[in-house]
Structure 1
């Protein structure tokens, strides 16, 4: 079990690949003929052996014991169908009717080593994809020239629950609208029609080529991940190629742009950015952005819509110091509009992920209180240095202890531990870090699949005493996960500090990697529980005081993942709470609410959230060119009004327009670095990493006034000061009545 604890605790789910080491780009492939039939693939004996090995491990060692029966078979069937055609855009109703006979037979096939059913479904998908791409290519260019962009046609963007099409003609109409939308988007990006037709023809030919080059490994990968995800979203099968990528992801030898990707429909989606990586520093690529094109330096951008994930990864990877250009659909773009960004590839150094400190000043009557802030981007440790017995090996705990002592020497009144966007890391470091603030006691419980509960850390491994016994606040958001949730949960359970910000991710499971005949299996074998007995799984840590968040919980977080393990409880560990903040929470919340009602930055955040909620509720998009242009103008005006309302309240110069976000090249990332990173923490749920869009309000002056302070961090400081004040006096009868 010790090996499990040495793994990094990650938030990424499904098939995800890191973009670090250098690999050559995919070679040019011959053009496939329109209407050329797809050659059916069949499974190999190696894959049969691998499927049996995987099944044995899943049934015997997965945390949540499941029986291989019709219920599990049905679950695998639904997940497999969704992974192949989640938008109901390829299969016909007749296909689904034919497939239904497989629903309760997939379990039998796994037992017997018969993969005929999943490969029959996969081959049919490839056939339907071939038909759809052939249809699009036949539309270009002559038929597409006749498209009327003045009609009131709309394209539905939410197709997960629509009925399957009864005929090819129905699908033709859907794909005609999709083509029309692609042409319209490119028109609005100021591209000429002839260039548009050429670009789209090349895109669809590339997709058709890749469909014809799909092999048995591709079909097996898709199916086996449906099998593994029927157990939970973090259990996954890695083919030999994806095993290589996973090993790169888990190492500290990181070179590239520092991003984790996954496939979503025909797009490549950003799952997470590596703290202090080139993409994180540049501040332009954000979680949930979709990559549509990749270019090398000044070379032409290659359209990658419909490409396999490993092929996109190959294009994005590259040597240190080289530039990659990405064409992306920003996560907050409601009309699928793209923009181009530059990122200089670099190596992610451990010291750049280190904890950092600063001091903020909080007015309190006629005094100004100094509050220390420790920003922890990840729970890191130099494993090799520790194993070699180096006295100065780097770790989160060592760095934070040094920073705490420095802050104490600077006479701060309290400390904020900033865990926003911290996706986890070393479990040992989460335990050791908690030990700096709590004098000997359990931090987390780990329950294994056999029911055994291990309480960590062991008492003998804890140092007596604490490094800091002053007031603490922990600031979190939706991307605070795993090890971050262990630390925040322990601080909350012990009453050692107050938790402020957004509800955390909810990733409370532990995985280990097991070798197979052909690839690897990442298997969930344990679950984390707080000392209170509450699981961190699914629910995460709920702050004592919640800040408004731009995150869409329907899309981001453990609760948004299919087949995520449930939240539950076990017996509490033997621990003693240091303080009960419950008596003060009503007063703290009232004071916080009074402040933010007139705080321009929180008003701005609230208005942004309302606008984004409104945009998310739109399930279709107009194909009328005039209306689309008007919608874009209306959206820009709404954003400008929201920004100017904030600027007016703060006595800042108003803007006449927002910085253009058209397809113009962004400035080189190395010119922004820390300034951009700091700006990204302002306002829009701060370290929410623009997952739901940086405010999209970027001023049109490069020499704008000095960067504003982090509004959420300042409010956290105010809450901590309030708490310190309440701790020095008894609770009044009125405050008791408010409870």
Structure 2
């Protein structure tokens, strides 16, 4: 093995900061306590001197320090313009074609405006948006005043729901027709979900009145933040502006793990969507919230549920946060629902800080019969890459860290004479970069672990400088789409050193490093570096591709770096090492064949593949019927398919069949049963064990441990 780059000692603290920031997936910021405008008096919204200076600072910082350093020119101006329109009107339901024709004169001028500190065009577009949104809310409330019982659901009408590329409405009359259908669709969704007309009337009226009331509280800082973020996020989705008050709350907003629920959230048009759950956090422990679920209501303790559809992400975050030990109730529409199924459930969560010991690595033993023999495999589940900084800095010899805990578990498993090890990194969103490097060092002789390329082109190398591997036996690493950041660094190193088979799903693809740059007014979170594997491949966008892929439990088109707009591309640089020939490569075709044969009829694998296929088919439908009979028939057909998939799995496993979906008692029973599945009951874990054993059988001369 030969090194191709100079090893340098890096500022670990700086990179740890970058890694922590990397976990903010589409995060927004908390609202400022500025003085609101008078109701509807949008003329009072004018940029102030501090905001003008801050905008000029952002222009200069992006020009000098952003990793990519793309030019601020006419092409960038068009991206800013299109991104701003998409931010303000993602479903093209507010602006008219006349509005767009008026704005189009600025299409190639935003670069010049920003360089000159001219914020007026950005403010003008936002204020027009406020006017149009007010008109739509007033119109909608007028429709609701007529009563939802008067709506005729026997007409054969359709609504285009995917309006991202729809033409802009010609005039106000066309917008009225669109919103008449939107209201009809909302009423029909709630009606099919089982709500009575009176409850629907009250819910929607309250929803739109609340939106109108909040609209009238719009502040200058809201406009400035939206416009500057439309600009900064044309560089990449993790570069964004934080207002002064928002910057103070930045760390809490990142993961909601401090006095929160332990979930990373992002905006999804008018909804708030769960991106991932913090391991051992309150939401994850509830077993009732999953990635891609939508939060439609929030309540404090036993208070009345607050409908949050149409709210900004920052407003929803503010409601969810609260004192440690207090309870928050969330109304959730599960991602597993059919697209038009508004059936929701309420989850009660006690807010608490995530305890380090609950995120600690855990071991178990997987016992498998394989090719006529009994085997034991050690399983080490790593929920996060953690390090007790306080104890570490205080010199406490018993400080907890991922590497120390895994080393201890490896020793215990070797005493149990296991035949190999599976490292389970599913849903591990990352954490300490230092721990990713040190954990890699347990499994390699010595050498680089990750490369960091800065905006000036300099490549720094983090390395394991301790000679000798603690564990050199057979190993597999199990990952999925929610394995991110530090997990990708470790899995990538194991793949590049040919140290382990990588199994599961394509990882998240978050391979950039951010830093906070102070401004005269607020702060800029700026992407200034990129991670690369020791093979020279970036972890950005593409993530780590497994040697053998499993069906994904989440749609990679909805979750992951590649699902974010303006995500930086995958690329490669010169490798840091040259390894010996890949010992796995000659066997991958045969391993794949055996895997496919085993899982072709495996109930859990079949179910996951079929459910994802059904979900993707439904997501591709761009229109919905507004005829109640047709809609109910479509909904029944979808639920029948979902029930058939679930019962096919249950029948194959010898379990009791369900008569219907979403039976609360049955769901609770399933949750209880799924609390602590054995390794053998975890289909993906068991299959990973079989693949590793296949390799051992095919390669009997593999190094003994």
Q: TM-score range by the shorter chain?
A: over 0.9
Alignment of 1:65-84 (within 5 A): 65-84=69-88
Counterpart residue number, 2:172: 168
1:423 — aligned with what? 429
1:337 aligned onto 2:342:
yes
Q: Distance in 2 between matches of 1:595 and 1:273?
A: 31
Q: CA deviation at 1:475?
A: 0.6
Q: Which runs of 4+ in 1 moved over 4 A?
A: 36-40, 249-253, 664-667, 671-679
Greater alpha carbon shift after TM alignment, 408-417 vs 234-243? 234-243
CA 1:627–1:610: 2 relative to 1, 3 Å = same
Aligned match for 2:26, one of 4, 7, 14: 14
Residue 609 of structure 1 corresponds to 612
1:411 matched to 2:408: no
1:737 paired residue number:
none
Q: Output one character per residue of 1:593-643: Cα deviation in whole Å (capped at 9) or x when no partner.
A: 111112222122222122212211211222222222222322222222212
Q: SS of the counterpart of 2:163? A: coil
Q: Select which of 690, 705, 719 maps to 2:691.
A: 719
Give, in whole Å, the separation in 1 of the partners of 2:580 and 2:102.
Answer: 60
Label 1:672 to 1:635 Cα distance change in 2 as closer, same or farther (>3 A).
Answer: closer
Q: Secondary structure at the match of 1:393?
A: coil
Residues 278, 429 of structure 2: 8 Å contact kept:
no
SS at match of 1:456: strand
Residue of structure 1 equivalent to 2:234: 230
What is the CA–CA distance in structure 1 between the aligned matches of 2:415 and 2:286, rounded to whole Å?
34
CA displacement 1:447-492 (0-9 Å, x = unmatched):
11111111212x6xx2221111111101111111111111111111
**Following TM superposition, by how much is the alpha carbon of 1:191 offset from its aligned partner in structure 2, in angstroms?**
2.5
Distance 2:495 2:343 in 1: 42
Q: Say whether the 8 Å CA contact 2:274–2:290 is kept in structure 1.
A: yes
Distance 1:629 1:37, change over 3 A: farther
Tell whether 2:531 aligns with 1:528. Answer: yes
- 1:472 matched to 2:444: no
**Mean alpha-carbon deviation: is it higher for 236-245 or for 52-61?**
236-245
Q: Distance in 2 between matches of 1:50 and 1:272?
A: 32
| 2:363 paired residue among 357, 364, 381 | 357
Counterparts of 1:495 and 1:67, CA distance in 2: 40
The alpha-carbon deviation at position 708 of structure 1 amounts to: 7.5
Tell me which residue corresponds to 2:645.
642
* Aligned equivalent of 2:97: 93
Which residue in 1 is equivalent to 2:518?
A: 515
Corresponding position of 1:323: 327
| Unpaired segments ≥5 residues, structure 1 | 680-705, 731-739
User: 1:623-674 CA deviation, whole Å, 9 max, x = no partner?
Assistant: 222222222322222222212222222222323233336xx9997xxx9988
Q: CA deviation at 1:155?
A: 1.9
8 Å Cα contact 1:528-1:536 kept in structure 2: yes
What is the CA-CA distance between 1:327 and the residue it aligns to?
A: 1.6
- Which SS does the other structure have where 2:589 is aligned? helix
Q: 1 CA distance for matches of 2:104 and 2:46?
A: 20
Change (3 A) 1:578 1:377: farther
Shift of 1:66: 1.6
Label 1:607 to 1:708 Cα distance change in 2 as closer, same or farther (>3 A).
farther
Q: Distance in 2 between matches of 1:278 and 1:130?
A: 38
The counterpart of 2:495, out of the listed 487, 492, 495, is: 492
C-alpha separation in 2, matches of 1:629 and 1:547: 34
Q: Secondary structure at the match of 2:605?
A: helix
Q: What corresponds to 1:547 in structure 2? A: 550
**Matching residue of 1:688:** none
Identify if the C-alpha distance between structure 1 residues 417 and 609 changes in structure 2 by more than 3 Å, giving closer, same or farther.
Answer: same
Give the distance between the partners of 1:603 and 1:675, measured in 2 at CA: 21
How far the C-alpha of 1:146 sits from its partner, in A, is 2.3
Q: Deviations over 1:247-306 (max 9, x none)?
A: 225699722211122223222222222111100111212222221111122221111122
CA apart distance, 1:677? 4.8
> CA offset at residue 124 of structure 1?
0.6
Provide the aligned length of Structure 1 versus Structure 2. Answer: 687
Q: Give, in whole Å, the separation in 1 of the partners of 2:601 and 2:413.
A: 31
Partners of 2:686 and 2:581 lie apart in 1 by: 26
Render the CA deviation track for 1:191-228: whole Å, top value 9, x for unaligned: 22122212211111110011111111111111111111
Q: Does 1:295 align with 2:299?
A: yes
Does structure 2 retain, via aligned residues, the 8 Å contact 1:493–1:577? no
> In structure 2, what is the Cα distance between the partners aligned to 1:716 and 1:675?
22
Give the TM-score, by structure 2 length. Answer: 0.92
2:398 is matched with: 392
Evaluate the alpha carbon distance shift between residue 607 and residue 235 of structure 1 in structure 2; reply closer, same or farther with a 3 A threshold. same
Partner of 1:118: 122
Confirm whether residue 195 of structure 1 aligns to residue 205 of structure 2.
Answer: no
Mapped partners of 1:675, 1:363: distance in 2: 24
CA distance in 2, matches of 1:549, 1:476: 10
Uncovered stretches (5+) of structure 2, i.e. residues with no partner: 1-9
Distance 2:252 2:611 in 1: 38
- 1:525-674 aligned within 5 A: 525-577=528-580, 579-660=582-663
Q: Is the 8 A contact 1:529 1:536 kept in 2?
A: yes
User: Which has the larger displacement, 9-18 or 641-650?
Assistant: 9-18
Partner SS, residue 150 of structure 1: coil
TM-score normalized with structure 1 length: 0.88
Rate the CA distance shift 1:430–1:673 in 2: closer, same or farther, 3 A. farther
CA distance in 1, matches of 2:42, 2:404: 58
* Counterpart Cα distance in 1 of 2:679 and 2:149: 48
Asked if structure 2 preserves the Cα contact closer than 8 Å seen for 1:90 and 1:132, the reply is: yes
Look up the match of 2:281. 277
Alpha-carbon spacing, 1:265–1:124, altered in 2? closer, same or farther (3 Å): same
SS at match of 2:447: coil
Secondary structure at the aligned position of 2:357 is classed as helix
Deviations, residues 325-364 of structure 1 (Å, cap 9, x unaligned):
1122222331141412222222211111111111111112
- Mapped to 1, the partners of 2:654 and 2:218 lie a distance apart of 59
- The answer to whether 1:502 aligns with 2:505 is yes
Q: 1:640 to 1:189 in 2, by over 3 A?
A: closer
SS of the residue 1:255 aligns to? coil
Whether the aligned pair in 1 keeps the contact of 2:480 and 2:507 (CA below 8 Å) is yes
1:552 positional shift = 2.1
| Alignment match, 1:698 | none
Aligned partners of 1:619 and 1:160: how far apart in 2?
10
Q: Which moved more, 1:213-222 or 1:194-203?
A: 194-203
In the alignment, the residues of structure 2 paired with residue 540 and residue 43 of structure 1 have an alpha-carbon distance, to the nearest angstrom, of: 40
Q: In 1, Cα distance between the equivalents of 2:599 and 2:100?
A: 52
